């Protein structure tokens, strides 16, 4: 079992930056994936970016490409999401997620086993 705890959310003006963190309770083995999803009120949860725990390969949704950067620090069992040039449409609850024992690393929510409680990001 893996516990995930997000931090770093808050309120920011459009054009500003925030960095989210996700601390995992244990080491994520090489055949795994961690990622960020978000959900705005009245909308479905959407994938933002995943990162493979072994290779570090990343992928970004079109809506955040060029503005957000996902990274991880395996020594700290922590994943990050650096968000820049924030827009009001980025306002959402951001969730950290993870899966283990699979080489899948994409943006399909059904593949992920573990979810954090979420951290709110508000852009005005």
- Residue 102's pLDDT band (boundaries 50, 70, 90)? confident
11-68: pLDDT as tens digits: 999 999 999 999 999 887 778 899 999 999 999 999 999 999 889 999 999 999 999 9
Check residue 26 and give its pLDDT: 87
Closest listed residue to residue 54, CA positions, set 84, 19, 81, 27: 27
Helix (H) or strand (E) holding 51: strand 46-52
Residue 71, CB half-sphere, CA atoms under 13 Å: how many?
A: 9
State the residue for tokens 């950067």. Answer: 69
Cβ neighbors of 102 (< 8 A, separation 6 or more) are 31, 32, 33, 111
**Alpha carbons 54 and 33: distance in angstroms, whole number:** 8
Q: Minimum mean pLDDT among 58-62, 100-104, 120-124: which range?
A: 100-104
Confidence category of residue 101, pLDDT binned at 50, 70, 90:
confident
Span 78-107, mean pLDDT? Answer: 95
Q: Please state, in angstroms and rounded to a whole number, the distance separating the CA atoms of residues 104 and 44.
A: 21
The residues with which 35 forms a beta bridge, in sequence order, are 50, 97
């Amino acid at each position: 079992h893996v516990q995930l705890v997000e931090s770093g959310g808050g309120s920011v003006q459009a054009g500003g930056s925030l960095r989210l963190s996700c601390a995992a309770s244990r080491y994520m083995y090489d055949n795994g994936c961690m990622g960020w999803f978000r959900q705005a009120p009245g909308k479905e949860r959407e994938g933002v970016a995943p990162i493979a725990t072994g290779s570090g390969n990343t992928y970004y949704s079109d809506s955040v490409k060029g503005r957000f950067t996902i990274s991880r620090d395996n020594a700290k069992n922590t994943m990050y999401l650096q968000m820049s040039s924030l827009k009001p449409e980025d306002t959402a609850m951001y969730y950290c997620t993870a899966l283990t024992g699979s080489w899948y690393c994409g943006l399909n929510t059904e593949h992920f086993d573990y979810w954090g409680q979420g951290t709110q990001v508000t852009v005005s």
